[in-house]
Amino acid sequence: MRELLFIYNPHAGQGKVRGRLSDILGVFAGNGYLPTVYPTQAAGDATRLVRQEGGRYPRIVCCGGDGTLHEVVAALMEMEDPPVLGYIPAGTTNDFSKNLDLPRDLGRAAQVAVNGPAMRCDIGRFNGQSFVYVAAFGAFTDVSYDTPQQFKNTFGHLAYVLEGIGRLGSIRNWHMTVEHDGETLEGDFVLGMVSNTRSVGGFQGWPAQDVELDDGLFEVILVRAPKNAMELQAILHSVMTRTPEGNGPLIGFRTSHLTLTCDGEAAWTLDGEYGGSHKVVHIENVPRALALCRGEREE
């Protein structure tokens, strides 16, 4: 039998993986795999385990939310020849799973994790750290990691919405200089995202529908701080219609690398996890860095 390392977060998504663990392991065994099973115990556990043991396995499967995937990828990106990665989404939002067209049912997703075709995906570098699908700063970007796990387990995706509503009165802006592809832009921004995804925060098609995971490019969105109600209305219209303007309140462009310099230390999130506070950030795309199993897109 072939060996497989299976890492799962027992608390992700209201703990639903615990009730399906036997089904998932049955899928692995039925496809000729002898799994080594490890439930994560604390934050950073998946990264530590893959660093120590991941090189021994031809395939790794992780089960949990985007945070669990982020931790596993962080360790895989340190390897010279990383194994194929299967992902069974079991978190609250599961943004990145939508890019891979993974089934919601855990048993069907387990089948994809061992049988699905492997595609090479771009991975981001953020001041040396790895991220899978989004690096962001500004309004509401800390909601995912600041929302208590128990709150998420009780209310699901609604927990993020409720937590976000509580932040409405504390939105601030950041003065930044952004350099990319020989161009420089400067301004006060309330939100910025550098992403490789067609779903952020559960909203599909945002920041873009036509995202290619292996084109070596990020989709970048910067939202200028509105000076008045009319500018706020223009921003909301651009967001709803997904029509960023070149130098308007909502700026959008594609690039393989960029540098952002802030007048103070701005807090960043990487795949929904805290990525530290930084004055200067260098972000680059590592093209086709990892092989991930994908499903079939349902029309």
Residues 12-48, buried b or exposed e (16+ Cβ, 10 A)? bbbeebeebbeebeebbeeeebebeebbbeeeebbbe
CA 36 to chain centre: 25
* Joined tokens for residue 251: 């700026």
CA distances from 188 to 119, 141, 174, 233, 242 (A): 38, 17, 5, 17, 21
Residue with tokens 């989004």: 134
Do the Cβ atoms of 83 and 60 come closer than 8 Å? yes
In a 10 Å sphere around its CB, with 0-12 CB exposed, 13-18 middle and 19+ buried, how is residue 55 labelled?
middle
Longest dimension (CA), the chain: 64
Q: Is 273 a catalytic residue?
A: yes
CA-closest candidate to residue 217, choices 240, 243, 195: 195
- Point out the catalytic residue in the list 80, 265, 273, 284: 273
Cβ atoms < 10 Å from Cβ of 296: 11
* Joined tokens for residue 223: 């939202």
Active-site residues, by number, are: 273
